């Protein structure tokens, strides 16, 4: 009986599922005015991974559940680099995408067909235990409607990778940013609400 209890204890120990790491998306800035062209940085942060050597993602943007990704364009650098979807070595500092140079000093960044973006390390995998910045992709937009935009990952995204392939047990956490109405719009809204309140009072008196 004691032997059976020991066996069950050992089985239970190995049956405990591995703890999942988290790949989080953060939008910077978190709030922008509408009606004007601008940029938004999509940051990727990781936590709880034993070995990370790269990433491949396809961010998607939705507003009120509707896919509006076509309104966001990958920000091209002042010079056409890369000119086509291709792997390119050691992206200069400040280019798009930006990669954590401390953890991955010599990565191969890429824009793959289908607008997948990411990088591969040539210096090996690194552990990411605490919340750590991995990569930032900058997007341009011309004019956005007011509301809260959700940035998630397309289902075909791979997420984090390492020298063994796909990093297991990843939890993807979406990010958000808000487009605030223009001041003029807010003023009109306020005037309209005041007018409705006055109309309601007059009806109640009548």
Dist CA 92 CA 144 (whole Å):
30
Whole-Å CA distances, 6 to 10, 16, 35: 6, 16, 67
Distance CA 151, CA 169 (A): 21
Quick one: what percent of the chain has pLDDT higher than 70?
A: 71
Question: What are the distances in angstroms from CA 16 to CA 11, 12, 58, 111?
Answer: 9, 6, 32, 38
Q: What is the mean pLDDT of residues 133-160?
A: 96
* Gyration radius from the chain CA atoms: 24
For 42, other C-beta atoms within 10 Å of its C-beta total 22
List pLDDT tens digits, range 23-69.
999 999 999 888 789 999 999 999 999 999 999 999 999 999 999 99
Beta bridge partners of 40: 139
pLDDT in tens, 181-190: 876 444 444 4
Contact 22, 171 (CB under 8 A): yes
**Token pair listed for 168:** 């297991």
CA distances from residue 86 to 74, 166, 171 in whole angstroms, order as listed: 14, 21, 28
Q: Which residue has the higher pLDDT, 92 or 199?
A: 92
Q: What is the pLDDT of residue 21?
A: 97
Higher pLDDT, 198 or 64: 64
Q: Which domains does the chain have, with CATH numbers?
A: 19-205 (2.60.40.680)
Report the distance separating Cα 205 and Cα 123, nearest Å. Answer: 78
Average per-residue pLDDT for the chain: 81
């Amino acid at each position: 009986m004691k032997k059976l209890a020991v066996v069950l204890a050992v089985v239970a120990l190995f049956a405990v599922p591995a703890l999942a790491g988290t790949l989080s998306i953060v939008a910077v800035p978190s709030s922008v005015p509408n009606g004007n062209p601008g940029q938004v940085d999509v940051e990727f942060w990781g936590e709880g991974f034993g070995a990370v050597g790269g990433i491949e993602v396809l961010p998607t943007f939705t507003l009120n559940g509707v896919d509006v990704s076509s309104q966001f364009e990958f920000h091209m650098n002042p010079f056409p680099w890369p000119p086509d979807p291709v792997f390119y070595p050691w992206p200069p500092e400040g280019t798009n995408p930006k990669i954590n140079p401390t953890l991955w000093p010599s990565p191969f960044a890429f824009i793959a067909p289908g607008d997948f973006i990411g990088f591969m390390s040539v210096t090996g995998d690194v552990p990411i235990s605490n919340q750590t910045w991995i990569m930032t992709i900058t997007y341009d937009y011309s004019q956005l409607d007011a509301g809260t935009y959700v940035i998630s990952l397309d289902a075909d995204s791979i997420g984090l990778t390492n020298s063994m392939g796909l990093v297991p047990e990843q939890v993807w956490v979406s990010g958000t940013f808000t487009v605030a109405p223009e001041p003029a719009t807010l003023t009109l809204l306020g005037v309209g609400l005041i007018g409705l309140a006055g109309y309601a009072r007059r009806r109640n008196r009548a």
